[in-house]
Amino acid sequence: MNQSVPKRTSLAADAMPSRFTAHIVASEWRWVTSASFILTMLVLVPLLWVALRGTPGWQFMGILHNYQDGATYLSKMQLGGLGEWLVYFQHTPETHDGAIVQLLYNLLGHLSRLSGVPQIVMFHVARVIAALMMYAALYYLGASIWVRVRSRRIFFLIVALGSGFGWFFGPLLQVSNIPDLTLPEAFPLYTTFVNVHFPLTIACLALLAGLFITLFRPSIVDDPTFDSGWWSVSLLSLFLAFLYPQSLVPIGGAVMLYAVSLYLQNRRLEMRIVRWVLALILPAVPVAAYYYFVVTFNPAMAEWNRQNVNLSPPIWAFVLGLGLPLLIGLPSIFRALRRFERDGDRLMILWLIAMLIACYIPMNVQRRFAVGMMIPVAYFATRAIEDVWLPKISRRLRPIVYTVFLSLIAVTNVLVLFLPVTPALVGLPQAATGVFLERDYALTYRYLEPRTLVEDVVLAAPVPSVWIPAWAGARVVYGHPYETLNAEQKEAQVREWYAIEDASDPRCAALIEQYNVRYILVGPQEAYLGSAACAQNLRQMIQIGAVGVYAP
């Protein structure tokens, strides 16, 4: 062990001192803070570029990645800004009973109202804070496993940057279901692109994994100080139950399987282990019961649950999506299966297996169980690097190997990060409609905002409709494939209404009466659907550039 290696600030793996410590020392926290800040600022680059540069004739709507779901988060913040704690789907015209789901965004709306910070700014500030918390939790997990600082930093870089071969095989095979292209919750860096609750979920999972790895360590048996900390597991479990309940299934299954394996191995039940397992499971039970009753007896939530289909990609896609970290970690995975040791291998292999099993349970939310999948994969990759691969590489070549390796595992993440702004970079913002929208629509939303209530319904084409609840505070006939009730039917009705060519067609008035529509928009996006002849029977309230606002 070399105790005299100088401290460095580079993010390259060979800048990691080969020292050992049982705790996270101040120099490590400085390194983690620097690395986390750099990664977070990188994620903000395309957002700030489009927000500050502007695109002539087009409006950046505020969300770069997965704009449809992003618009629903902002609509929930709108409700919070109005003092609501229950969630109502604003992308559907029906009035319905609310429920406590995705409570985080209502809370952010309340904070926006109390602080005076605009909601879109609050959303992105929360996203940055969540990312920084996630990176700190991931490093804590690494420190819970390894006493060697180099190993901790290798783990951190792999889990933070890691992605797979989607950048290569996606275009080559003409497929889009490779996880590192479409499954952000599985990849920590990718989670920071899309929302607030994904990185917070991974932060909680990392903290839970660190606590249980420490608990299951044989040397901790006689440590009453640590054993009294079971309440922290309960708090994390309760938080996850509201934040991302599906995440508790794989980690809970892994912990229970671990406890069973200890019983089969020792032929006795360790009550301290049982207490910790119950501390993880019991707080989530009443929340799970609440969700069950909500999706069973609340018709709107039942329909939302029915439509919210997120099926897992085939197993070969997972292999491609986990890419080099998985391939490099295979020796350690085989070792964990063969030896089944208690030094972290057992919990991590059980967690990875539980994720894969849950991802193929016949349910409509399969892919949600993959949240944090890169954590165990990065663990095994780090073990394999330290135990198998590094001894084969000379010290002189290691910096080059590290640089190439980290670059390759980060390619898909970088590609996905900048992909939404590429059309604007080449002067074709219309190729990213939804992320960008004709500026006249943004002006129209500002016109509607003081003239509508949350119960009012606006009819527009699907793309402009997705932003109306967040920008104007009103409801729409169709705006989201999950949060519009009977979404397929309503989308077809909207498209049909704008395609009608005879103003005397009875369907013109029928749709407006059926959903009690107050305002109708006719603009460039609606023109893609048809001539909007039905608008001839309506009163034009105002013409804002290319967008006309009509009323019955």
Q: How confident is the model at residue 221 (pLDDT cuts 50, 70, 90)?
A: low
Query: How far is the C-alpha of 481 from the C-alpha of 69, rounded, in Å?
Result: 10
- Whether 220 shows a pLDDT value over 80: the answer reads no
| Average pLDDT score, the chain | 92
DSSP-derived 3-state class of residue 117: coil
Is the residue at 98 inside a domain? no
Amino acid at 362: P
Query: How far is the C-alpha of 472 from the C-alpha of 458, rounded, in Å?
Result: 10
**DSSP codes joined into one string, 447-506:** HHGGG--TT-EEE--HHHHHHHHHHT--EESS--TTTSTTHHHHHHHHHHHHH---TT-T
Amino acid at 65: H
Lowest mean pLDDT among 20-29, 174-183, 218-227, 527-536: 218-227
The pLDDT value given to residue 223: 61
**Angle, helices 119-145/374-384, rounded to nearest 10 degrees:** 40
The pLDDT value given to residue 228: 67
Is the residue at 292 inside a domain? yes
Mean of pLDDT values over 117-121: 95
Tens of pLDDT, residues 476-489? 999 999 999 999 99
DSSP-derived 3-state class of residue 362: coil
Task: Let me know the angle formed at the C-alpha of 372 by 67 and 470, rounded to the nearest 5 degrees.
Answer: 20
Tens of pLDDT, residues 518-550? 999 999 999 999 999 999 999 999 999 999 999
Give start and end residues of each alpha helix (H) in 282-362: 284-297, 299-307, 315-339, 345-358
Is the residue at 547 inside a domain? no
Q: How confident is the model at residue 9 (pLDDT cuts 50, 70, 90)?
A: very low
- Whether 74 shows a pLDDT value over 80: the answer reads yes
Q: How confident is the model at residue 3 (pLDDT cuts 50, 70, 90)?
A: very low
DSSP-derived 3-state class of residue 110: helix
Residue with tokens 């939303």: 445
Strand-strand pairing, 517-522 and 457-459: parallel
Number of domains forming the structure of the chain: 1
Q: How confident is the model at residue 4 (pLDDT cuts 50, 70, 90)?
A: very low
Tens of pLDDT, residues 124-171? 999 999 999 999 999 999 999 999 999 999 999 999 999 999 999 999
Query: How far is the C-alpha of 326 from the C-alpha of 306, rounded, in Å?
Result: 34
User: Which comes out higher in pLDDT, residue 227 or 458?
Assistant: 458
- Whether 11 shows a pLDDT value over 50: the answer reads no
Neighbours of 174 (CB within 10 A): 7
DSSP label at 247? G
What are 101's two structure tokens? 């789901």
Is the residue at 18 inside a domain? no
pTM equals: 0.93
Mean of pLDDT values over 444-462: 96
The pLDDT value given to residue 6: 37
- H/E stretch holding 363 reads none
- Whether 20 shows a pLDDT value over 90: the answer reads no
Is the residue at 252 inside a domain? yes
Is the residue at 501 inside a domain? no
Tens of pLDDT, residues 188-199? 999 999 999 999
Q: How confident is the model at residue 425 (pLDDT cuts 50, 70, 90)?
A: confident
- Whether 7 shows a pLDDT value over 80: the answer reads no
Is the residue at 211 inside a domain? yes
The pLDDT value given to residue 8: 38
- Whether 353 shows a pLDDT value over 70: the answer reads yes
Distances (CA, A) of 517 to 151, 460, 470: 60, 10, 18
The pLDDT value given to residue 427: 85
DSSP-derived 3-state class of residue 512: helix
- H/E stretch holding 539 reads strand 539-544
**Angle, helices 197-216/230-243, rounded to nearest 10 degrees:** 150
DSSP label at 57? T
Is the residue at 221 inside a domain? yes
Determine the structural domain holding residue 365 and report its residue range.
24-53+118-420
Q: How confident is the model at residue 407 (pLDDT cuts 50, 70, 90)?
A: very high
The pLDDT value given to residue 172: 92
Q: How confident is the model at residue 14 (pLDDT cuts 50, 70, 90)?
A: very low
What own/partner pairs with CB < 8 Å and gap ≥ 24 does 61-65 have? 61/434, 61/435, 61/436, 61/437, 61/442, 61/467, 61/471, 62/120, 62/123, 62/470, 63/435, 64/193, 64/420, 64/421, 64/435, 65/184, 65/193, 65/194, 65/416, 65/420
